């Protein structure tokens, strides 16, 4: 338990230093407004019920992609393919909703299965041919996104496009976004159960509870079941896993399948809220890559993922209040700093445990594999190269 406390402390310290850095940035850019705006940013998320709803609404898919990356990390794999799995999951959910007119829970199930299917390939390549999952999952990000674009633009019924129809939208031109769910199939919207009235926001639905439930489920699998024991054993020492009679290849595939399923479900949750439509994409969706940040900040703990996703969502909502005095992108910088720092979590943890004299001399990295800081920087840089900037589905 002490070690858990130290992990949390390390993450909190990273967050505080990151925020301090953000404040410094604000002061440098425009000193007069820095403190009031900073205060606004920090409190925006709880300033009103609708804002809080927005935080929860954004956090739900973030938890899912965060879980996807975190689960893979715990089992020694780096799932950079969460974005592709997320996109494929989103498509499956929307297709089931629009074309097959299914209810929301079947759509979510479809999203889960589609994401899992997208995780199979990197898993199989890794298990059978020892191809690095980072490379295959990056490729499958693009394959997934392009395939979804292609499908959206070509699925016809009675000679008419239905995913991106003229028919649903007034005007003549073909739109670049999928049809609004509230028109096409209100049954496919994730139920709100009165939460929208409670928080006075159209964004609010039960997706946050779905996400939290899965986080708890994954935590139970990882820390309480023999299956999780096997996955983690193979993840941190494949040879020892084989020696213990564990089917390492099967576990690699399963691990990627579960990771993919989580990201896919994230896609379903986001688009079945009915507040955003899938738009034809030119670059990979950022939600999958933000999942990497979430997982790192949570030191790959599924329960921690809930809190880190909530935090990142909270600060993103807060960032909107910085406009127009400051650019909204300052939030991206603050988050980046926090992630950099949490990548040094090992270091921070060691320092803390030395200071308070608890834990062991060599505190273990919470990631399944110890990852050297340089590599993490590379990974983060990669995530950023794929553009945190682009928005994901236009809000209504």
Partner 1 sequence: MSEYVIEMLNITKKFPGIKANDNITLRLRHGEVHALLGENGAGKSTLMSVLFGLYQPEEGIIKKDGKEVKINDPNDANALNIGMVHQHFKLVECFTVLDNIILGVEPNKFGFINKAQAREKVVELSKKYGLQVDPDAMIEDISVGMQQRVEILKMLYRDNEILIFDEPTAVLTPQEIDELMQIMRNFTKEGKSILFITHKLNEIMAVADRCTVLRKGKCIGTVDIKDTTKEELSTMMVGRPVQLEVEKDEAKPGKVVLDVKNVTVPSKLHSNNAVKNVSFQVREGEIVCLAGIEGNGQTQFVYALTGLDKMSEGSITLMGRDITKASIRNRAKAGMSHIPEDRHKHGLVLDYTLEENLVLQRYWQPEFRTGPFIRRNEVRKYANRLIDEFDIRSGEGPVTPARSMSGGNQQKAIVAREIDRDAKLLVAVQPTRGLDVGAIENVHRNLVACRDSGHAVLLVSLELEEVMSVSDRILVMYEGEIVGEFDPKKVTVQELGLYMAGAKNMYREVGHGGADNGKEKEA
Burial of 332 (0-12, 13-18, 19+ CB in 10 A): middle
Element (H, E) at 76: none
241 lies in the site for partner 1, by CB under 8 A: yes
Total residues interacting with partner 1, rule: CB under 8 A = 27
Beta bridge partners of 161: 156
Task: Report the residue from 48, 358, 390, 395 that binds partner 1 according to the rule CB under 8 A.
Answer: 358
Compute φ and ψ for 100, nearest 5 degrees: -100, 0
Nearer to partner 1, 3 or 328 (CB): 3
- Binding range to partner 1, per CB under 8 A, among 23-31, 82-90, 133-141, 242-250: 242-250
Nearer to partner 1, 80 or 367 (CB): 367
Exposed/middle/buried for 84, CB within 10 Å: 0-12, 13-18, 19+? buried
Least Cβ distance, residue 5 to partner 1 (angstroms): 15
- SS3 for 279? strand
- Rounded to 10°, the helix 248-271/286-297 angle is 120
Among 28, 167, 361, 385, binds partner 1 (CB under 8 A): 361
Q: Which stretch binds partner 1 (CB under 8 A): 88-96, 104-112, 226-234, 377-385?
A: 226-234
**Do you know the residue count of the chain?**
396
Task: Return the residue of 119, 319, 368, 393 that touches partner 1, per CB under 8 A.
Answer: 368
Q: Show Cβ contacts of residue 192 under 8 Å, excluding neighbours closer than 6 positions.
A: 204, 205, 206
Segment interacting with partner 1, rule: CB under 8 A, options 92-100, 127-135, 231-239, 260-268: 231-239
**Backbone dihedral angles phi then psi of residue 191, each to the nearest 5 degrees:** -60, 150
Distance CA 18, CA 6 (A): 18
Check residue 236 for interaction with partner 1 (CB under 8 A): yes
- Out of 159, 171, 173, 357, the residue judged to bind partner 1 by CB under 8 A: 357
Which of 58, 136, 290, 353 forms a contact with partner 1 (CB under 8 A)?
353
Q: Establish if 8 lies at the interface with partner 1 (CB under 8 A).
A: no
Segment near partner 1 (CB under 8 A), from 21-29, 191-199, 221-229, 324-332?
221-229
Q: How far is CA 270 from the centre of its chain?
A: 11
For 229-253, give the DSSP string.
HHHHHHHH-HHHHHHTT--HHHHHH
Nearer to partner 1, 228 or 268 (CB): 228
The answer to the question of residue 226 lying near partner 1 (CB under 8 A) is yes
Judged by CB under 8 A, does residue 355 bind partner 1?
Answer: no
Closer to partner 1 by CB, 316 or 350: give it.
350
Cα(325)–Cα(87) distance, integer angstroms: 34
Please classify residue 130 by burial: count the beta carbons closer than 10 Å to its beta carbon, then call 0-12 exposed, 13-18 middle and 19+ buried: exposed
Question: Is position 132 an interface residue for partner 1 (rule: CB under 8 A)?
Answer: no
Residue 243-282 contact track with partner 1, rule CB under 8 A, x = bound = xxxx------------------------------------
In angstroms, the CA 192 to CA 188 distance is: 12
217 binds partner 1 (CB under 8 A): no
Give contact residues for partner 1 (rule: CB under 8 A).
224-227, 229, 232-233, 236-237, 239-246, 353-354, 357-362, 364, 368
């Amino acid at each position: 338990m002490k070690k858990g406390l130290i992990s949390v402390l390390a993450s909190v310290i990273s967050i505080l230093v990151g925020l301090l850095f953000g404040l410094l940035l604000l002061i440098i850019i425009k000193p007069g407004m820095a403190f009031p705006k900073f205060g606004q940013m920090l409190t925006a998320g709880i300033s009103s019920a609708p804002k809080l709803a927005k935080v929860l609404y954004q956090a739900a898919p973030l938890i899912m992609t965060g879980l996807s990356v975190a689960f893979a990390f715990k089992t020694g794999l780096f799932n950079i393919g969460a974005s592709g799995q997320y996109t494929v999951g989103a498509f499956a959910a929307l297709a089931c909703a629009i074309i097959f007119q299914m209810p929301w829970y079947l759509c979510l199930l479809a999203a889960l299965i589609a994401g899992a299917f997208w995780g199979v390939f990197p898993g199989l390549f890794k298990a059978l041919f020892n191809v690095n999952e980072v490379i295959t999952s990056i490729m499958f990000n693009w394959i997934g996104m392009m395939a979804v674009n292609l499908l959206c633009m070509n699925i016809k019924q009675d000679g008419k496009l239905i995913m991106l129809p003229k028919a649903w939208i007034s005007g003549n031109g073909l739109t670049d976004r999928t049809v609004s769910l509230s028109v096409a199939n209100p049954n496919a919207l994730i139920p709100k159960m009165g939460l929208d009235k409670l928080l006075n926001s159209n964004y609010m639905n039960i997706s946050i509870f779905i996400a939290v439930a899965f986080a708890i489920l994954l935590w139970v699998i990882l820390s309480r079941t023999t299956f999780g024991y096997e996955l983690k054993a193979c993840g941190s020492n494949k040879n020892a896993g084989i020696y213990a009679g564990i089917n390492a290849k099967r576990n690699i595939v399963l691990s990627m399948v579960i990771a993919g399923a989580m990201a896919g479900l994230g896609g379903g949750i986001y688009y079945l809220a009915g507040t955003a439509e899938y738009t034809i994409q030119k670059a990979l969706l950022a939600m999958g890559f933000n999942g990497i940040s979430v997982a790192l900040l949570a030191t790959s703990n599924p329960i921690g993922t809930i809190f880190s996703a909530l935090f990142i969502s909270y600060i993103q909502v807060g960032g909107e209040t910085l406009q127009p005095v400051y650019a909204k992108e300052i939030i991206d910088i603050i988050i980046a700093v926090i992630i950099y720092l949490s990548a040094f979590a090992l270091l921070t943890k060691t320092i803390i445990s030395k200071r308070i004299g608890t834990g062991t001399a060599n505190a273990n990295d919470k990631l399944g594999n110890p990852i050297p800081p340089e590599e993490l920087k590379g990974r983060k840089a990669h995530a950023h190269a794929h553009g945190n900037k682009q928005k994901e589905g236009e809000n209504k």
